[in-house]
Structure 1
Amino acid sequence: MDFERAFKFPTDDPNWIKKVVIGAVLSLIPIVNFISFGYALELLKNIIDSKEELPEWSEFGGKFVKGLVAFIIMFIYMLIPSIIWVVFGGLSILTMFTGSDEAIVGGIVGLGIVGLITFLVTLIIGFIIPMAYANYIAYDDFGAAFRFSEIFEKIKDNFSDYCILYLIVIVTGAIVIFIASVIPILGLIIAIFVDFYFYLVYAYIMGKIY
């Protein structure tokens, strides 16, 4: 997998700046940002179909639907760590309110353990979600995002590259947060554009892996 190529790919398009600006601006608007997500998914489909080109900014309704469906897929996957946190974290908090010192200490320890477990489960599920997106968009079928045997087989066949992609997502995400937090106002604006650009990079890599 040529990861260097992935980071340069969006700039091959003569209108790449315009396309990134549109995607970044749309990503700022709640609900409307599903269109930007859908755009990245259309790029993912292009790469899967061996079409190395950025999509055009047209058919906004179709992009919105793709982005919305992807959000629903993520929401369903993330129900598992959410339930763990709400149920077991809630029990730990209730334990703290029983009044005794032992209960308070036990509740705090329990809350820490539940938090750690929730974090680890979130990381594991977050590892699976990109391939679930790819399977959904490849088949244009919502149910394909939950064909676990296919998803795990695809991950297994490309495990090293897939792990690198996941690390890239984490590292670039941290870079975006750093830019937004260190440079007042201008940093936030830069981070928004960089973040959308990285989404295009992720889509390219995921399409090649798939």
Structure 2
Amino acid sequence: MDQKMDVGAAFSYIAKDEAWVKKLIIGSILVFTGIGTIPALGWMLAIVRKAIKDDFDLPEWSNFGTLVIDGLKYVIAFGVYYIPIVMIAMIVFLPMGLSDILFEEAPELAFPILLISLAFMPFVFVLSLILMFVQPALTAILADTGSIFEAINPMNMYRLYKANFGEYIVAMILGGYGVTYLASFGFYLFCVGMYPAQIYAYTVQGHLFGQAYRRAKASLELAEQTAA
């Protein structure tokens, strides 16, 4: 197994692809349309797949149908965890957004409802952290197997995290929080800059998730060989 996770490569490897500018422009245009985010997510999965094989070339956009299907699979798989958390968050934060109406229409109920909402805020925060923690393994399993059921299986994620916990934390922080702020920076720098920033963020995210998965799988295979 490699000596350590190459974090720097995740941010710089795209320059090794001679057509990287063209590929990022295509991705940016797709994301700009809104609906093009689906194939862009499929493209990100293709990056994960290449990183698992230690391949540093960016995927092509030519196999568009496959990218759309993979993107839809990702939306479904991630949505299994994402949608319940969003629904809980709405239940918690909606009363706060309607606080003026509550105090006007039902003042005797407004304070208890808002108090309950505040009490559940830490719970929503913890669920959000779990969602960020789930993303690296779920994404890589889906990229490797193509199976939504394998990707959402908590036991599959647990085995990977157990085998390579430290590097999955790195992948979560840099590939989750880090690229989110990167995309936000693109928005604040130039409004149009958010689209290239988002596609670049996918390249970083995909490579980090693929690296962590490859190394976790190698650890698991080594453990199985040792046990045998």
| Per-residue deviation, 1:91 | 8.2
State which of 156, 159, 180 in structure 1 corresponds to 2:162. 156
Q: Deviation string for 1:89-116 (max 9, x for gaps)?
A: 678979866432xx32222221122233
SS of match in other structure, 1:78? helix
Superposition CA RMSD, Å: 2.3
Provide the C-alpha distance between the structure 2 equivalents of 1:43 and 1:74, rounded to a whole number of angstroms. 17
2:180 to 149, 160, 173: 173
User: What pairs up with 1:124-163 in 2 under 5 angstroms?
Assistant: 124-163=130-169
How many aligned residue pairs are there?
Answer: 204
Counterpart Cα distance in 1 of 2:206 and 2:119 = 35
- Counterparts of 1:203 and 1:88, CA distance in 2: 32
Aligned amino acid, residue 19 of structure 1: K
**Percent of aligned pairs with the same amino acid:** 22
User: CA contact under 8 A between 1:78 and 1:125: conserved in structure 2?
Assistant: yes
Matching of residue 76 in structure 1 with residue 84 in structure 2: no
Q: What does the per-residue CA deviation read over 1:172-210, in whole Å, with 9 as the maximum and x for residues that have no partner?
A: 3223313413x4xxx122222122112111111111111
Report what 1:117 is aligned to. 123
Q: Please give the residue correspondences for 1:12-31 in structure 2 after superposition, counting only pairs within 5 Å.
A: 12-31=16-35
Report the residue type matching 2:66 in the other structure.
Answer: G
**Alpha-carbon spacing, 1:89–1:16, altered in 2? closer, same or farther (3 Å):** closer
- 2: CA distance between counterparts of 1:3 and 1:111? 39
Residue 179 of structure 2 corresponds to residue 197 of structure 1: no
Superposition map of 1:49-64 within 5 A: 49-64=53-68
Residue number in structure 2 paired with 1:35: 39
Q: 1:136 to 1:104 in 2, by over 3 A?
A: same
Q: TM-score, normalised by structure 2?
A: 0.80
The one-letter code sitting in structure 2 at the alignment partner of 1:142 is I
**Closer/same/farther in 2, CA of residues 89 and 13 from structure 1, 3 Å limit:** closer
TM-score by length of 1: 0.86
SS at match of 1:30: coil
Matched residues in 2 for 1:21 and 1:129: separation? Answer: 26
Query: Which residues of structure 2 form unaligned runs of 5+?
Result: 214-228
2:111 alignment counterpart: 105
Please tell me whether the aligned partners of residues 40 and 200 of structure 1 are also in contact (alpha carbons under 8 angstroms): yes
Which of 2, 5, 11 matches 1:7? 11
Residue 62 (structure 1) shift: 0.6
Say if 2:78 and 2:135, in contact at 8 Å, map to a contact too.
yes
Question: What runs of 5+ residues in structure 1 fail to find an aligned partner?
Answer: none
Instruction: Tell me the residue number matched to 2:48.
Output: 44
